[in-house]
Each structure stands twice: as structure tokens, then as C-alpha cells.
Structure 1
Amino acid sequence: MTDKNYRSLRNRIHEIIFEADTPTGKFFDVFLMISIVASVLVVMLDSVASYREAFGEWFYVLEWFFTILFTIEYVLRIISVQRAKGYIFSFYGMVDLFSILPTYISILLPGSQYFLVIRILRVLRIFRVLKFTQYLIEVDQLRSALASSRRKITVFIFTVVTMTVIMGSLMYVVEGGKNGFTSIPKSIYWAIVTLTTVGYGDISPQTNFGQMLSAVIMIFGYGIIAVPTGIVTVELGKAANKYTTEVCRYCSREGHDKDAVHCKYCGHKLDP
């Protein structure tokens, strides 16, 4: 095979595997989605003892069939991109890799094949297949908002942790071991459960002061719930933009502006 024919073949494979705009690309992605869902169902059914006893051999064959199929697809994806490292260490690249590793690892560690349910994450590609561009926009906006909010959220979490440590320690002093607060860590566990308004009820204060303190913590809990929501909502308002589903051949990233000529992540020219 000449170098020109090899490049043409790589381009054709890339068009089929990474692009959902062409008939063959859409057919490939739909077939891939069906295979992913079917493989996850096989793993789930195999975990049911009665089904495993009746159809264990079929499940074993199907598991290896899907694993080999996805392995071939993974190799083709690496071959078809200009920079294999960009795809391998991308989000989808890591998901694709971890979706096939458990079967091979199960040869040495029996039972690890049940981690194959991670394949369900690959169904996220259905947004591209069905051209749900608006959903891709929202996903990218949410990701951007969370990234922009990380410092504020970190400070918020640190504040909540500090509050639970103080409240838990105070409750340990007030209630003591006779009422179930046998240690500071267990009292902090109670404070976390109460502050998050979960309220398991396995530990509860018995003294008047302890009950008053728990009421204060529960009220704080309702107020605290709204804080991270407000932080992310503000950042979401700043993240509005319009993107396409085009995948860069060099870094395997998507989410480019509709009028983009070059990839905003690696700088290479996008395909026309």
C-alpha cells in the first residue's frame, strides 16, 4: 500500500468513526450504540445467579465478542487520528480503553469483568449521532461553569467541613456517649447527616440543648443547599456560546465554534 493510499484510508476511517454527518458515519455510530447497550445488558444479566447458571456460556462468548469488537474499534480510532496521544488521553479515549480492559484483566483477576458496565458511558456519543447539538452546548457550558466555579466551591466545601467538625465536637461534649455520641468522629458523622438534611435517625440528641443545636444545624442545611447552585448558575450565564460537533483530527477534541477555521485547543486547521 502506497503512502497516499494509506493516508486516504486513514481519512476514510476517521470520517466513518469520528463524524456523524455522513450516512456511513451515522450508521457506524448507531451500530456502536446498539453494541454498547447490548454489551452492558450482558454484563448485568451475568451478575444474576439464575441467569448465569442457565446462560453462563452464552454470556461468556458474548462478553468476549463485544470486547474484541470494541478493541478493534479502539485500535482503528488510534490509527485514524493524526496524534494518537490526543485521543488516548481524552475523556472518550480513556472511557474506550477502560471499557475493554476489565475482560482482559479478568483472566488474572476473576470477577473484574463486571466493571465493564463503564461501557454505558460511551452512550454519551449518542448526542453527536442524533445531532442533539443543543445538549452538547449545555454539557460544554456546564463543564465550563464548574471549572470556573472550582475555587468558590472549594472554599464552600472547606467552610462546610469546618462547620461540621465544630458542630460535631460540640454535640459530643453536650450529649456524650450515653446518648450515642461515643466519639468526635461519630458526632461529626451525625453533623454531616443532619446538615445535609438526610437524617438517618440512627443517632439523635436527647438533651434540650442538643435538640436546639440540631434544629439550628438543620436550618443551616436548607440555606447551604442553595449556595453551590447559585455559584454554578452565575457561571452558566457567562458560558453561553455556540458549538459544532466537529472533531479535530489532531487532538480529538470537539466543541468548536461554528465559524472556527482552526482548533481552539491545539491550533491545527479543521477539516472543511
Structure 2
Amino acid sequence: MSDSIKKPSWKEKLHEIIYEADTKQGKFFDVILLIAILASILLVMLESVESFDNEYHTLLNIGEWIITIFFSIEYVLRIVSIKKPFKYIFSFYGIIDLLSTIPKYLSFILIGSHNLVALRALRLLRVFRILKLGRYVGASNKLLLALNASKAKIAVFLFFVSIVCVILGTVMYMIEGAENGFTNIPKSIYWAIVTLTTVGFGDIAPQTPLGQLIASVIMILGYSIIAIPTGIVSSEMTKTDAEIDTNTQSCPTCLKEKHTKGATFCHNCGSILN
């Protein structure tokens, strides 16, 4: 008689529901979490509208407390469902989860601190997986790799743009002068940056024909400069075209995700995956 298959413990089952999205229970949990996060952010927005808050303050407060208690319970369950709790507590998501839970409690001490629950929007990064965005998560990873690979080129580009702004700002200060709003070189450099980036606040504008001619050149130059970082990153992305087919499985020991489909062991710590 063959040995019976070992049934997962309640901790393993809880870990699967909370940290993964490959099962119906995991997807359902993430959907509830998504709704709670969006509802919480909406409540904070509505509370900031004075007329609405005056009429429905009690209702908004009750709704926020319900969601806060839900997140508090979820935070505790995340801790007890893994083998190494401190891995989660001091991880990026662990800190975000804590920060999104405590603001309402802090409101007893610090007035207005409950508005910090808007940090819960960062938790949407975790629940995006329920939308089957695995391939796009892979694409975002490629973008991060491309940005990292092109950081030296981008740094040189930004340094060049900074020098151009300093030179153009100084030239405009000499041409326009304080009578036309260019009272000092730093303010003139500010104008050059605003103009070169095609923002154009309009708080300072050249009045002399020569100054207007230079401003026109800077505006045209701004459009060509915008395309340069895009080209740098795009060229690097073509070098990182390999895409790995991953799932949402999370290691119960180190919490690492993005394991290849069918993987038995964690690619980070070597622990057996549930």
C-alpha cells in the first residue's frame, strides 16, 4: 500500500491563498483586497471634500475603520502563514502593508495622519497579478533592466542638458536683464529649463527681439531633446528581449516570486515550493 499524500497544513493553505493567485481562493482573496484598497482610497478622497464630509462624516469614518480592521487582520495572517516572518515584515511589501494599516490608529495621536492611507495605492502593485498581467510584469522587468543598462548614457545626457541650461540662462540674463524679469542667473537658468522642457509657465518671458529668437531656438531644441532618452532606452530594450514564463507562486520561506512554471524549488533559497 502506497503512502498517502500528505495534506497541506493550514499555514500552507493560508499562504497559498494570501500570497499566490493561481487558485480560485487566491484570486478571490486578491479581488477582495483590490476592492478594499480602492474603497479605502475613495473614502479618503471623499473625506477631503468638506461639504461631503460634513454630511457623511460618521459613515465615512465607520467605513474606514472596517477597512482598517480588515487590513490589520490580513497583515497578521501574512505574518503567521510564512516560515520566516521577519522576511516579510522588513520586506518592501511588508513595510507598505504596515504603513497602510497604522494611519487610522495614529489618528488618535496625530490629527490628519489617517490621510496617509492613500499609501494603500502602492498595494495595487501586488494585486495586479489577478488581472493576468504576468506577461506585462515580464515586460516591466525588461524595462527596468533597460533603464539600468542605459543609466550611464542617460546621466551623460542629463549632464549635457544641465550645461546647456546654464549657458542659455546666463546668455538670457545678459541679453534681457533685470528690467525684463531676468533678475539673476539662477532665475534665468530656471527659465531656460522650463523653456527647454517645453513646459512654458509664462511667468518670465523675453522682451527683446534677440531674446525671443534665442527662446524660439530653445523651444525647437526642446522637442528634439525629448526624443533622446527614449531612443537610448529603446535600444537597450532590444538587447533584453528574452522573456521567461513565470507564475505567481511565492516561496513560503523567503517570499521570492516569479518562479518558472512547474518549478519545484525556490530559485532564491532552494526551499520546496508548496
Normalised by the length of structure 1, the TM-score is 0.89
Partner residue, 1:245: 248
Deviation, 1:104, is 2.5
Question: 1:270, CA displacement in angstroms?
Answer: 4.9
Distance 2:105 2:50 in 1: 22
Q: Secondary structure at the match of 1:16?
A: helix
- What is the identity, as a one-letter code, of the residue corresponding to 1:268? G
Q: Which amino acid aligns with 1:250?
A: T
- Map of 1:19 onto structure 2: 20
Cα 1:12–1:156 shift into 2, 3 Å: same
Instruction: Give how far 1:248 is off.
Output: 2.4
Q: Which residue of 2 aligns with 1:3?
A: none
Show the counterpart of 1:140.
141
Q: CA deviation at 1:269?
A: 3.2
Alignment size in residue pairs = 265
Kept in 2: contact 1:90–1:252 (CA 8 A) = no
Q: Which runs of 4+ in 1 moved over 4 A?
A: 259-262
Change in CA separation of 1:219 and 1:93 when aligned onto 2, cut-off 3 Å: same
Q: What residue number does 1:53 align with?
A: 54
**Mean CA deviation greater in 178-187 or 87-96:** 87-96
Amino acid at match of 1:267: C
Shift of 1:259: 6.0
- Quote how far apart the aligned CAs of 1:14 are: 0.6
Partner of 1:268: 270
Residue 92 of structure 1: CA displacement? 2.5
Structure 2, unpaired ranges of 5+ = 1-7
Gaps of 5+ in 1: 1-6
8 Å Cα contact 1:127-1:135 kept in structure 2: no
- 8 Å Cα contact 1:168-1:184 kept in structure 2: yes
Contact 1:140/1:255 (<8 A) preserved: no
TM-score between the two structures when normalised by the length of structure 2: 0.88
- Residues 1:94 and 2:95 aligned together: yes
Identity of aligned residues (%): 51
Q: CA deviation at 1:154?
A: 2.3
Alignment RMSD (CA, Å): 2.1
Distance 1:181 1:83 in 2: 60
Aligned to 1:201: 202
Q: 1 CA distance for matches of 2:91 and 2:144?
A: 15
Q: Distance in 2 between matches of 1:212 and 1:181?
A: 16
